[in-house]
Structure 1
Amino acid sequence: MPNHPIAIIGAGLAGAATAWQLARRGYDVVVLERSTPANEDGSSHGSARILRYTYPDPFYTALMIDARRGWDELEDLRGERLITPTGSIDYGASRDPAGLAAVLADARVPHELLTAAEASARWPGFAFDGPVLWHENAGVIDAEQAVHTMIGLAVGAGAELRHNWTAVRVLPHGDDYLIESEAGDTVLASQVVVAAGGWLPALLGSLGLPQQAIDAFPTLQVRQEQALHFPYRDPSAAWPTFINKRADIQVYGLPGGRDAGLRGQKVAEYNGGRVIGSALDHDHIVDPARRDRLVEYVAETLPGLVPEPYAETTCLFTNAPDDEFIIDRIDGVTILSPCSGHGAKFAPLIGQLAAALVTRADSGVSRFRPLAARIGA
């Protein structure tokens, strides 16, 4: 074992999962969180994230099957449910329900491909105009409680959590790394895991990486997304999660959980928010024009919802090229950006991949290592 702890910057889903996986393996871990775990300034707050298996790329469907085993273990260890089963529907010509069904069939994931009439009879709260894919194994993740559960397991295994510790710089220090905080505190670490979410673009140049790695790093785009909560016309109706992709808009929705007072559907436009430099520019203000666009969509296509939002929120998407994840390592610095708006559902598996990369210098998933491919890291 190294003489100094492995430091993890960020206590969102990715950082918490990595801390849990490393600590349970007996490694000394310290988690450095700029605020508190799963706080509202990050990407892992709140009680509602979609868990689904539908991807046009079979790789991600297979990855989700692996990740679900991690969720099952996490729920067993917690002793309470973290995923509310709801099932999920995919529809819209640009979503290609038939193509997604073929991927699920190859992966042996239970599903049904329905006509618009069949789907409308089952879910009268939606207006369908074409085939609809249903898969029952989908659900809603309580992201906030998942973070707290994984952090709790990590601390229980010996990890240390430091709140209100804003990392601003990582410096090579012999064979180790010196991490400096905004307040002037320091931590000496044998390795560093950076799971900073939307803060990563602002932090990247201060991680002690060689210039070659910084120049080769994929361009990240941070968006300030927004979600609106709409009340159900029939509070007794069971609503699934959904993704509707048309040529002009892509919208997703899910039962809002505590975020919506358990009485409405959380609806958002995928990558519909404004582009910002990093999480430092997150102002938590919902854009009125984008709000109106989403209200209009609900009024036209979701007759089971009252098109008058009763709550709204903003969150951050940190997008990498082609919506891929980044789980890569340069020397003793591992960078996690398993984001692109769809990373939450993979959290336990992300922790396993990151722990493997930290301890064996190989996660086993080469497509998440763009720096290794470009500069031979």
Structure 2
Amino acid sequence: MSNQYNNSVRRIQTISTHLSHQNSSDSKVLKSNDHTLYDICVIGGGITGTSTAYQLSKEGYKVLLLEQYKIGHDNGSSHGDGRIIRFSYPEDIYLELAKLAYPLWNDIENESGSKLIQITGGIDFGSHKSQALIDLINAYKKHNIKYQVMEYQEANERFPQFNFQKENLIVYQQDAGVVYATKAVQTIWELAKRFGAVALDDKKVDQIKVESPELVTIQTVDQCIYKSKKVVLSCGGWINEILLRSQLNLQIPVEASQEKVFYWSPKPETKNIDYSQYSNPVSIYYGEVDAFYSLPQIEIPGVKIGYHHSGNALSSMKENKTKVYPPEFVEKIKKFVEKYNPGLDHSKESHSLTCVYTNTSDYHFIIDKHPRHQNVIIASPCSGHGFKFGPAIGKVITQLIKHNKTSLSTFHEFSLSRFNKSTNKRISA
């Protein structure tokens, strides 16, 4: 990984030199309509960026938040009617984050007066030999998380939305639920502004320039310039593009993928079964190699069911929404729905949506400082499982900026340096 990483940096240097000459010949007079020196500029207004701006502004920092699209857009990873929130992780780092995230979500609801979370309970199930489930139960025990292992007859009686099998290990956890994704991002954006952040959408950053350890210049495509002491890059799938344009001699080892989620309507004969968020728990199924997840009906008609990490790799974010989701994977989802959710019409989805995962090679997050520029922070390419942790990630980044350390005992697991050696891909969703 080290040689690959260095080769990537050299390629970026070569391309960046070309871009620099090209930009200099096409240069325009820049508009500088903001003479404020900000403490931190956060680039990217998804769940990570808005949460970071919100937490920093609460701490009294002078914050600028820039989003390239309209706030709440559907071009990235932070939109939709619902995302799962849960404790169901086998790794210490994510249980630490979950314990931090739940009360922070409660704070956001109280401060905004908006309901953003519905607790549904959550079910993780699969084979009795599933290592992911075995590790999950051990983690629950270690961290004193309440859980219940259910017999399949009991689970089917309690949750008629499902058809669990005799061979299933079924683990129920009462605190899981859904977060209203688009509403949450918009709400936290407004809270950040209430606490003093300057939040601007339709402001695409062209490049950033590190002038010194205490000064960064940010240039947008509409020819505006902003100044800040530090920058947080929470750009998701666009992270390497902005690093390249900014000639920062760094390429993050991530790959964006275009994922698709499907909504399945109840059959007419099962109209007596409640598939709503007030009765239907979220679920994650672990097969031998595949993982599927489900959310109850929230706003969009139908139960949301997706095939985790099954989407097309994107060579750039411009390809998002243009590729065709593999038909054989649609068939896999249909068979899964037919077997485990027989009350739903598996013959044809009622609706579908695309979103983007920004995946690291080991499916863990990245939260770290640039190896050469300590006033540039790389914030959380989340590999398709980060939304629930948004406020906690914002808090951790705030701690990192304020104290140069965080409260997470295993924070080093999110470092960039881990890619200089062999890493193991996580097996849990």
TM-score (norm 2): 0.80
In structure 1, distance between residues paired with 2:191 and 2:321: 32
Amino acid corresponding to residue 133 of structure 2 in structure 1: P
Aligned CA-pair RMSD: 2.1
Unmatched 5+ stretches in structure 1: none
Q: Which of 165, 169, 173 is the equivalent residue of 2:203? A: 165
Give the structure 1 partner of residue 41 of structure 2: 7
- CA 1:127–1:286 in structure 2 vs 1: closer, same or farther (change >3 Å)? farther
The percent of aligned pairs where both chains have the same amino acid is 29
Shift of 1:374: 5.9
Query: Does structure 1 retain, via aligned residues, the 8 Å contact 2:37–2:227?
Result: no
| Cα shift readout 1:213-269 (whole Å, capped 9, x = no counterpart) | x26x4x1011100000001244542211111111142111101422x23xx210100
| Cα shift readout 1:71-103 (whole Å, capped 9, x = no counterpart) | 111111122321111111011123643442232
Larger Rg: 2
In structure 2, distance between residues paired with 1:368 and 1:96: 21
Q: Which of 373, 393, 403 is the equivalent residue of 1:360? A: 403
State whether structure 2 residue 344 is matched by structure 1 residue 305.
yes
SS in 1 for 2:263: strand
State whether structure 2 residue 372 is matched by structure 1 residue 329.
no
Query: Does structure 1 retain, via aligned residues, the 8 Å contact 2:237–2:381?
Result: no
State whether structure 2 residue 98 is matched by structure 1 residue 59.
no
Shift of 1:271: 0.4
- CA 1:280–1:360 in structure 2 vs 1: closer, same or farther (change >3 Å)? farther
Give the structure 2 partner of residue 370 of structure 1: 416
Amino acid corresponding to residue 69 of structure 1 in structure 2: P
Mapping 1:253-272, distance limit 5 Å: 253-258=294-299, 260-261=300-301, 264-272=302-310
* Aligned length, in residue pairs: 366
Give the structure 2 partner of residue 110 of structure 1: 146
- CA 1:36–1:363 in structure 2 vs 1: closer, same or farther (change >3 Å)? farther
Shift of 1:286: 4.9
State whether structure 2 residue 282 is matched by structure 1 residue 244.
no
SS in 1 for 2:288: coil
State whether structure 2 residue 105 is matched by structure 1 residue 71.
yes
Query: Does structure 2 retain, via aligned residues, the 8 Å contact 1:230–1:311?
Result: yes
Of 355-364 and 268-277, the range deviating more from structure 2: 355-364
In structure 2, distance between residues paired with 1:363 and 1:356: 5
Give the structure 2 partner of residue 128 of structure 1: 164
Give the structure 2 partner of residue 291 of structure 1: 330
In structure 1, distance between residues paired with 2:217 and 2:182: 30
- CA 1:359–1:205 in structure 2 vs 1: closer, same or farther (change >3 Å)? farther
Unmatched 5+ stretches in structure 2: 1-35, 422-429
Of 36-45 and 366-375, the range deviating more from structure 2: 366-375
Amino acid corresponding to residue 389 of structure 2 in structure 1: F
- CA 1:179–1:96 in structure 2 vs 1: closer, same or farther (change >3 Å)? closer
Query: Does structure 2 retain, via aligned residues, the 8 Å contact 1:254–1:266?
Result: yes
Amino acid corresponding to residue 386 of structure 2 in structure 1: G
Of 86-95 and 346-355, the range deviating more from structure 2: 86-95
In structure 1, distance between residues paired with 2:286 and 2:241: 32
Amino acid corresponding to residue 123 of structure 1 in structure 2: F
In structure 2, distance between residues paired with 1:200 and 1:26: 27
